[in-house]
Amino acid sequence: MMSVICQTLDFGRHVLDHVACDCSSNTPLDRYTIRSHVKPCTKSRKRRHQTPTLVCSRRNVGQCRVFSTTKSETALNGITGGPQPFLELRKESKSPISSTNLFEVVADDLQKLNQNLLSMVGKENPALVSAAQRIFGAGGKRMRPALVFLVSRATAGLVGLEDLTVEHRRLAEIIEMIHTASLIHDDVLDDSDMRRGKETLHQLYGTRVAVLAGDFMFAQSSWCLANLENLEVIKLISQVIKDFASGEIKQASSLFDCEVELEEYLIKSYYKTASLIAASTKGAAIFSGVDRDTTKKMYEYGRNLGLSFQIVDDILDFTQSTKQLGKPAGSDLAKGNLTAPVIFALERDPKLKDIIESEFSEPGSLDEAIGIVKSSGGIERAQELAKQKADLAIQNLQCLPPSAFRSALEDMVTFNLERID
């Protein structure tokens, strides 16, 4: 580790002064983290060399990383092979992670994905094409396919892959199609009028078309999955579709049940949310060809991130407005779906149990129940649980070499928690 008190650093032939980056800051360079990373690439079949890459991304501690984009004769004191030394200069204040640049390092991959999603639906049925155009054009962060791309690129360097494979890209498309199909079916089952502030598919086209559209997407994604001809991944993703159904059955069978335990809630959350995210990250690692230990850790990263994500969503159901949520606040509780904040609140205030078991038959009882959840510490304890899962997710990433892609995977964990800060 070296300490530098200057605003200009010389990396071999290249001088870095003020560096353009995602943080949109003109702060002198000496207040930022400068790290030199190397990415293996193949110049010929017989010889490899190390080429530095330039990526600049804000980290959860408010750091800004700079990587050289061009090959340099020497990189920091002439060291050209192996892990590079770095100069770490922490920024003085932490800034929140923006959703707009969270996945910037895989922006090109996501652009190609958007172009391919509609082609996967096909043109045989005009109603399905129209529905698909609305669904895939409705926005959303494309979090799951972005995770596929990030893990793919973060693990590719471990085995000397220069670029993503066709299987990586097709997996991302399959994952997004399965996720979309599950949302369509969820909206029908929950009789939801709005999603992301827009009318749901069954409100626009009717329940029959919506159910068939979801069924078609599940079937098409299964067909594409089979054509990947990787039995391990086929089993992995097929289990996810089974988990979706199990999660819905568990939820439907435990409505207004105040005896539900936290472990049952976490199992249901895994089935409904974390299973697909874990399959996304594990599948990406499998197609990179990394060792089984790394593949397992990528699965655990996705599982812990998915659980943390679901817990945060369940907290927001109590803390955000109807406008922010795109659906009525407290809607899960109103339907009898008891989530982490409610389960924790039930341990503290017995009155909440009586209100829930009455299924909110008295005027104002739902608002009273929401008030008890907020005042009894249910939200704070759920926040701690979300942070515990987030910490585990970060630990699962330690097997990966430092890179912009690993940083983005870490940022995803932080970004999720910042939704409740």
The domain limits of the chain are 104-419
Bin 377: left if φ > 0, else alpha if -120 < ψ < 50, else beta: left
pLDDT at 205: 77
Tell me the C-alpha distance between 343 and 265, whole Å: 9
**Which three-class secondary structure state does DSSP give residue 51?**
strand
Write down the pTM of the prediction.
0.75
- The answer to whether 51 touches 41, Cβ cutoff 8 Å, is yes
CB 142, CB 85: distance < 8 Å: no
Length of the chain: 421
pLDDT given for residue 382 in this prediction: 98
B/e letters for 15-31, b = 16+ CB within 10 Å, e = fewer, are eeeebebbbebeeebeb
Give 128's DSSP letter: H
Burial of 353 (0-12, 13-18, 19+ CB in 10 A): middle
Cα 170 from chain centre: 18
Q: Check residue 369 and give its pLDDT.
A: 97
Q: How far is 10 from 15, CA to CA, in rounded Å?
A: 4
The confidence score (pLDDT) of residue 324 equals 66
CA distance 12 to 282: 38
Angle subtended at Cα 312 by Cα 306 and Cα 314, rounded to the nearest 5 degrees:
105
Residue 65 confidence (pLDDT): 40
Alpha-carbon distances of 349 from 317, 343, 372, 376, 416, rounded to whole Å: 20, 10, 8, 7, 29
User: What's the token pair of residue 11?
Assistant: 């990396």
Average pLDDT across each block of 10 residues of the chain; the chain has 421 residues. List them in order: 36 34 38 35 36 40 38 33 34 58 90 82 70 65 92 93 94 93 84 69 80 88 93 96 94 95 97 97 98 98 98 94 69 95 96 96 95 96 98 98 95 95 80
CA dist 137 and 121 (Å) reads: 13
DSSP assignment letter at 30: G
C-alpha distances (whole Å) from 315 to each of 82, 271, 289, 340, 373 are 44, 18, 37, 8, 10
Which positions ≥6 away from 257 have C-beta within 8 Å? 336, 338
Query: Taking the mean position of all CA atoms in its chain, how far away is CA 109?
Result: 15
CB 120 within 8 A of CB 132: no
Q: Give whole-number Cα distances, 416 to 137, 140, 169, 421, in Å.
A: 23, 15, 24, 10
Query: What kind and span of H or E run contains 186?
Result: helix 166-190
64 alpha-carbon distance from chain centroid: 21
277: closest CA among 120, 160, 166, 416? 416
Q: What is the pLDDT of residue 92?
A: 37
**Looking at the domain 104-419, which fold is it?**
Farnesyl Diphosphate Synthase (1.10.600)
Tokens describing residue 160 = 């000397």
Specify whether the CB–CB gap between 78 and 24 falls below 8 A: no
DSSP 8-state secondary structure symbol assigned to residue 125:
-
